[in-house]
Chain A
Amino acid sequence: MNEIVEDAENPEANAKKIMYINRRAPYGTIYALEALEVVLIGAMFEQDVSVVFMDDGIFQLKKNQDTLALDVKNFSPAFRALETYEVEKLYVEKESMQARGLSCEDLLVPVLELSSIEIAELMEQQDVLLNF
């Protein structure tokens, strides 16, 4: 059995490793917005959070989004607010980026670009994986 030992002296030691995995483009479906809201609300619980963007999820971070003519909310600026919520581990999968002809300069927020092998390794270390 995995015993969870509470360590009152060191709250960081109690933090669960939670990874959000985003694989859907924005606006076409509600997944991206839902994920963002869950990340923002979940940030209140001060866990060890990371957010991964792969497949079409990469498109959520594309610069210059303008939804004025669509009459839906452009939620992309909120990705830059993640830092103020102390959600600082943002990763993109290199293979997904290359497949879509994107580089980090095309994205509206600083991210760490990791290979699928590196992301697979991180996934293995998580307590919770949440998919959107």
Chain B
Amino acid sequence: MLHTVNKSPFEKTSLDTCLRLVRTGAVILLIEDAVYAATKNTVIEAKIKRALTQNRIYVLGPDLDARGLQDSEIIDGIEVVDYGGFVDLAGEHRNVQSWF
């Protein structure tokens, strides 16, 4: 299953709920304001690093660019995808769960 999250982890609990419900091996894609969860040196970072040991995590490049976030600011292990990559991810999974 592909899980997408689109809310800032500093404002909403969508990411926490996602991480609670995500099964080992499932894939997480951070989009819109959730891309802030992918950045280094935040109170969220440890949580994301823990998740990375069990799940692949992607972040949407155009949403990073728009917010002035560069690749060097992204937690190691998180992969940046463009819109085409988003579509590929959705196509690879039978189900998409959006935590909004």
User: Of B13-21, B33-41, B57-65, B78-86, which binds chain A?
Assistant: B13-21
> With a CB–CB cut-off of 8 A, which chain A residues contact B72?
none
Establish whether residues A131 and B97, one from each chain, have CB atoms under 8 Å apart when the complex forms: yes
**From residue 62 to 89 of chain A, which have CB atoms closer than 8 A to chain B?**
none
Q: How large is the interface on A (under 10, 10 to 19, 20 to 34, 35 or more residues)?
A: 10 to 19
Do B22 and A120 touch (CB < 8 A)?
A: yes
A20 to chain B, nearest CB (A): 12
A111 within 8 A of B: no
CB-contact partner of A55 in B13, B95, B96, under 8 A: B13
CB-nearest residue of chain A relative to B21? A120
Quick check: A124 and B100 within 8 Å, CB to CB?
Answer: no
Residue of A nearest to B95 (CB): A129
CB-CB < 8 A to A123: which residues of B? 1, 21, 95, 97
A–B complex contacts, Cβ < 8 Å, 30 sampled: A21-B97, A23-B17, A54-B17, A54-B21, A55-B13, A55-B17, A95-B20, A116-B20, A116-B21, A119-B21, A120-B21, A120-B22, A120-B23, A121-B23, A123-B1, A123-B21, A123-B95, A123-B97, A124-B1, A124-B23, A124-B95, A126-B95, A127-B95, A129-B95, A129-B96, A129-B97, A131-B97, A131-B98, A131-B99, A131-B100
